[in-house]
Amino acid sequence: MSEIAEFTRHLGNYLAPPEVALVERAFQFSESAHRGQFRKSGEPYITHPLAVASILSQWRLDAHGLAAALLHDVMEDTTVTKAEIEASFGKPVADMVDGVSKLDQIEFTTREEAQAENFRKMLLAMAKDVRVILIKLADRLHNMRTLDAMARAHRRRIAHETVDIYAPIANRLGLNALYLELQDLAFKHLYPMRYRVLAGAIKAARGNRREVMNRLLDAIREGFAKAAIPAHVSGREKTIFSVYKKMREKRYTFSQVFDIYGVRVLVADATDCYAALGILHSLYKPIPGKFKDYIAIAKANGYQSLHTTLFGPFGTPLEAQIRTHDMHRIAEAGVAAHWLYKSGGEFDIREAQQETHRWVQSLLEIQSESRDSKEFLDSIKVDLFPEEIYVFTPKGKIMALPRGATAVDFAYAVHTDIGHHCVAARINYEQLPLRSELKNGDQIEIMTAPTARPNPSWLQFVATGKARSRIRHFLKGLQQKESAALGERMLEQALATLKVDPDSITWDRWEALQKEFGARSQLEILADIGLGKRLSFAVAQALTRSAGKAGDEPRNGGATAGKAPPLTLRGVEGVAIQYARCCRPVPGDTLVGQFRKGQGLLVHTRDCITLKKQRVDPDQLIDVEWANDAQGVFDAGIRLLVADRRGLLADVATAIADAGGNIDNVSMERPDGGEVLAMFFSVQVKDRRHLAHVIRSVKRVPDVRRIQRART
């Protein structure tokens, strides 16, 4: 392949011959593993890992990182194991490949849960080695560049994930060029028509702007030449997505957005940056309130620059960025600058590296406290904030927080204990409520009290993932302890009813019960009793059963109208059961139970639309399974559209009866007042197969145009 020859020639510019040989060996290993596999576009699969490694070579990633990039899909898509990779290329490469690989061997109930768990795994690997996320970002970039070969639904899903998670991560790591390209590619696949229209408009406008832009650049270069300050001055092009975003946010027309010109000035050192600012302000008047100094106060991702907006010629706004050449390298490559320029030793990015490490550690702390995948992913998305404000501690330390952050967010950013015990805040020496929103440059002092503790109402206004996860974790722990104390008293009463001494229950029996119920601890079972998720009497019965009779469980009672079949509920024996009228579950449907305090368990189908609309707290839901010997009759609904005629109702009723179904209720209406009649039958069936038999029988009746199972 000519591509690999070109690739290895480029590697020779910065890697030693033994390192290039290692990368070539990884390519041959990957090509052999993927042989016979093709991408959706029809290209051999090896073209993808080679393209990913090529992107990373532009950041001058080391040989081990490039080898891992070439091998990043072999564990996921072939029979190659981590042990084989480790034997051939060493543990660091194997760990990176494992960190990038998805958790395909685990089955998840929802795509969101899979996304969260895969991100959680990648995060753990990233904490050990930041190259993992660089490989993942390069992988995502190439996938986005070649996304046209995928089906429309897949394109939209991948584009959404890119704009929600991967583009913000690239921004958070300071990979500006990558961040902008990912945004543009995601926009192209999410809104193809808007993308084409804007791309055409930008292309047309670019020709008209060229003369004005050239005159602007010449005037600025002349100003720097007169001041004898060496500077590289260039125009800045707006990306398609940035134009669209500004039009949406500011309610601007295309011409208003595109009439803003952008220039970038690169100079030798920080002193020249401020001198350059003075020259620009002498050439064109600055617009008040439009100056930002990211050199004195760098962004959390290491970005440094001076930003100013000027009244340009012909009344057109002119946005200028002024930075050193070293600052520009960090602005474009972020944490990758560590590899990109480490050989030259030209500048130090240790602070940006440390900030990235602190950020990853904070994400790890969030994931360790979040049992629920959706909650974890929401916290991560909150933390991938695109804009920051900079505030000061009483000692003058600068802290970066997301726009919209409050005094509570600041308290948790300083230390978890300060957040837990905060009672008030002094902002710029004025005492203000904890919910007060912070502004750039505020100085904050937090007052605490030993007896104070987090308030659930704080969750309504905090803006950082760290504060949100810490508050939730504390409240859950507090609730669990209080609930467990109540549950313990209730269990003791239930054991007394059975004439059993609580002290006679051995630890072995508790351990067996934990395994049986799928609980993590005795505390969790007791808390579930206190919260009403388990019946104390049922737990008492389970504890007093001998281990050899663990299968002789009492069946669930108290269900509707004597028609309840036996169910297997994980650790909730004896609960009163009702079947939801909104989805009418029958044996064969996958189920979920909604616990309602004082009313027992309401059983829904897992895909119940009504349950999803209610946005029920996941803690209120438990897994429910039909018993193998489930028997009885169950209410189900079928809806028909028919051409009205005499005797049709009798024919449909006969078809249902012939299939062994029993009609419980029937209703009819004319949707448009015409010949078509909508009919709804509530029928009693044994299970899904029986219901399907009834539907097939009715389908054969003349003039039945459409029939389907009705959930409501």
Query: 358-376: per-residue pLDDT in tens?
Result: 666 666 665 555 555 556 6
pLDDT band for position 492 (cuts 50, 70, 90): confident
Average pLDDT over residues 661-666: 85
548 pLDDT exceeds 50?
A: no
pLDDT tens digits for range 71-100: 998 888 888 888 899 999 999 899 888 888
Question: Which member of 31, 76, 259, 365 is catalytic?
Answer: 76
Identify the band that residue 546 occupies on the pLDDT scale cut at 50, 70 and 90.
very low
- Identify the pLDDT of residue 280: 92
Rounded CA separation 375/465 (Å): 10
| pLDDT interval class at 232 (50, 70, 90) | very high
Which three-class secondary structure state does DSSP give residue 129? coil
Whether the pLDDT of residue 448 is over 70: the answer is yes
Q: From CA 282, how far away is CA 593, in angstroms rounded? A: 71
pLDDT greater at residue 603 or residue 119: 603
Reply yes or no on whether the pLDDT at 569 is more than 50: no
Tally of CB atoms within 10 A around 632: 16
- pLDDT of 694 above 60: yes
Angle, CA of 396, 399 and 404, to the nearest 5°: 125
Q: Which of 185-189, 497-501, 643-647 has the lowest mean pLDDT?
A: 497-501
Would you state the pLDDT for residue 490?
A: 81
Q: At what angle do helices 63-70 and 47-57 cross, to 10 degrees?
A: 160
Asked whether the predicted pLDDT for residue 173 surpasses 70, the reply is: yes
N-to-C CA span, the chain: 60
- pLDDT value of residue 552: 38
Domains and CATH numbers, the chain: 2-190 (1.10.3210.10), 197-340 (3.30.460.10), 560-626 (no CATH), 634-710 (3.30.70.260)
- In angstroms, the CA 93 to CA 138 distance is 16
In this prediction, residue 69 has a pLDDT band, given cuts at 50, 70 and 90, of very high
Q: Please, which pLDDT band fits residue 411 given cuts at 50, 70 and 90?
A: very high
What the block records as the tokens of 1 is 């392949």
Average pLDDT (185-199) is 91
Does 109 score more than 60 pLDDT?
Answer: no
For residue 335, pLDDT over 70 is answered with no
Q: Which pLDDT value is given to residue 459?
A: 81
Residues forming beta bridges with residue 400, ordered by sequence position: 390
Nearest to 476 by CA among 595, 602, 372: 372
Q: Is 76 a catalytic residue?
A: yes
pLDDT digits 0-9 by tens, 514-529: 887 778 788 888 887 7
Nearest Cα neighbor of 689 from 626, 623, 598 is 626
The CA-atom distances, in angstroms, between 679 and each of 519, 642, 653 are: 47, 8, 11
- Beta 261-267 vs 317-324: how paired, if at all? parallel
d(CA 662, CA 642): 20
Q: Between β-strands 600-605 and 577-579, what pairing exists: parallel, antiparallel or unpaired?
A: parallel
pLDDT for residue 208:
67
Cα 529 from Cα 484, distance rounded (Å): 7
Distance CA 238, CA 158 (A): 24
Please tell me the predicted confidence (pLDDT) of residue 473: 80
Q: Which of the two residues, 490 and 127, has the higher pLDDT score?
A: 490
Mean of all residue pLDDT scores within the chain: 80
Does the predicted TM-score (pTM) go above 0.85? no
Distance CA 656, CA 683 (A): 8
**Amino acid letter, residue 308:** T
Assess contact for 621 and 594: CB atoms under 8 A: yes
Cα–Cα distance between 175 and 167 in angstroms, integer? 9
Confidence grade of residue 142 (pLDDT, cut at 50, 70, 90): very high
Percentage of the chain exceeding pLDDT 70: 80
pLDDT in tens, 589-614: 888 888 765 456 788 888 888 887 77
Residue range 146-175: average pLDDT? 85
Q: Rounded to whole angstroms, what are the CA distances from 503 to 481, 487, 496, 542?
A: 20, 16, 11, 16
Between these two residues, 622 and 103, which has the higher pLDDT value? 622
Segment 620-645 mean pLDDT: 80
Rg of the Cα trace of the chain?
32
Q: Are 539 and 529 in contact (CB under 8 A)?
A: yes
What is the mean predicted confidence (pLDDT) over 31-40? Answer: 88
**Residue in the block written with tokens 């961040």:** 179
SS3 annotation, 213-224: HHHHHHHHHHHH
Token pair belonging to 520: 């993590």
Catalytic choice (19, 24, 31, 77): 77
Q: What angle do CA 398, 400, 404 make, to 5 degrees?
A: 130
pLDDT score, position 638? 92
| Structural tokens at position 344 | 């030259």
Active site residue 19: no
pLDDT reported for residue 406: 92
E runs forming strands in 198-305: 232-235, 261-267, 292-293
pLDDT at 577 over 80: no
Measured distance CA(40)–CA(397) in Å, rounded:
52
3-class DSSP string for 519-586: CCCHHHHHHHHHHCCCCHHHHHHHHHCCHHHCCCCCCCCCCHHHCCCCEEECCCCCCCEEECCCCCCC
Asked whether residue 209 carries a pLDDT value surpassing 50, the answer given is yes
Residue 103 reports pLDDT greater than 60 = no
Would you state the pLDDT for residue 342?
45
pLDDT digits (tens, 9 = 90+) for 277-334: 999 999 988 988 888 888 888 776 778 899 998 887 767 788 899 999 888 888 877 6
- Sheet containing strand 422-427, strands side by side: 430-432, 422-427, 444-448
